[in-house]
Amino acid sequence: MKNILVLCTGNSCRSQMAEGYLRHYAGDNAKIYSAGIETHGVNPKAIQVMAEDGIDISRHTSNNVDEYTGVPFDYMITVCDNANENCPYLPGNFKRFHHNFPDPAKATGSPDEVMDEFRRVRDMIKVYSKDFVEAHLDQ
């Protein structure tokens, strides 16, 4: 079983959605963790848009990357440039991946426009997560 860490700035939206989709697609082939270089709590809009797609992240917690220094990761995925550039040192011999997804928490406009941005980012993360599992775990 592989250990995968998804890292973001605040472990609030993007990394939480990626954790949900990676768990869904990886099944028993991986243990998925998500963390932030800070913790901001799980964003309720992220929980809502994931539930719309049948993925329950309502019990996820916002965790700091320092909580996982003892976990032997096989892969680390940073999902924002800030986390990629400011990630603290993590021991271990793991493969590192990076994809900068837009931050839906910074969306502006009407409530419907903000939710549309959460859905757009969710869908991008869904495709990335499915592709990642197919490329790295379904072997």
What is the per-residue pLDDT across 75-103, written as a single tens digit (0 to 9) for each?
Answer: 999 998 887 777 766 777 889 999 999 99
pLDDT of residue 82: 80
Q: Is it the case that residue 26 has pLDDT exceeding 70?
A: yes
DSSP state of 98: E
User: Looking at 4, 6, 7, 8, which residue is catalytic?
Assistant: 8
Provide the pLDDT for residue 88.
66
- Give me the catalytic one of 80, 105, 125, 133: 80
- Average pLDDT value for residue range 112-117: 97
Mean pLDDT of 7-16: 92
Residue 1 near residue 32 (C-beta atoms within 8 A)? no
Could you identify the residue written with the tokens 């800030």? 82
| DSSP element (H, E) containing 122 | helix 111-136
Q: Which of 57, 70, 80 is nearest to 8 (CA)?
A: 80
User: Residue 27 and residue 92: Cα distance in Å, rounded?
Assistant: 24
To the query of whether residue 13 is one of the catalytic residues in this protein, the response is no
Q: What are the strands of the beta sheet with 30-36, ordered from one edge? A: 30-36, 2-8, 75-78, 95-98
- Quote the mean pLDDT of the chain: 92
Q: What is the pLDDT of residue 89?
A: 66
Range of the domain at 74: 2-136
**Which of 3, 29, 31, 87 is flagged as catalytic?**
87
CATH of the domain at 31: 3.40.50.2300
How many domains are there within the chain? Answer: 1
Task: Please compute the mean of the pLDDT values over residues 119-128 and round it to a whole number.
Answer: 98
Residue 69 CB: number of other CB atoms within 10 A? 11
Read off the pTM: 0.93
Spatial contact of 42 and 62, defined as CB atoms under 8 Å apart: yes
Q: Is 80 a catalytic residue?
A: yes
Interval 37-67: pLDDT, tens: 889 899 999 999 999 999 999 999 999 998 9
Which pLDDT score, from 0 to 100, does residue 38 have? 87
Higher model confidence: residue 121 or residue 69? Answer: 121
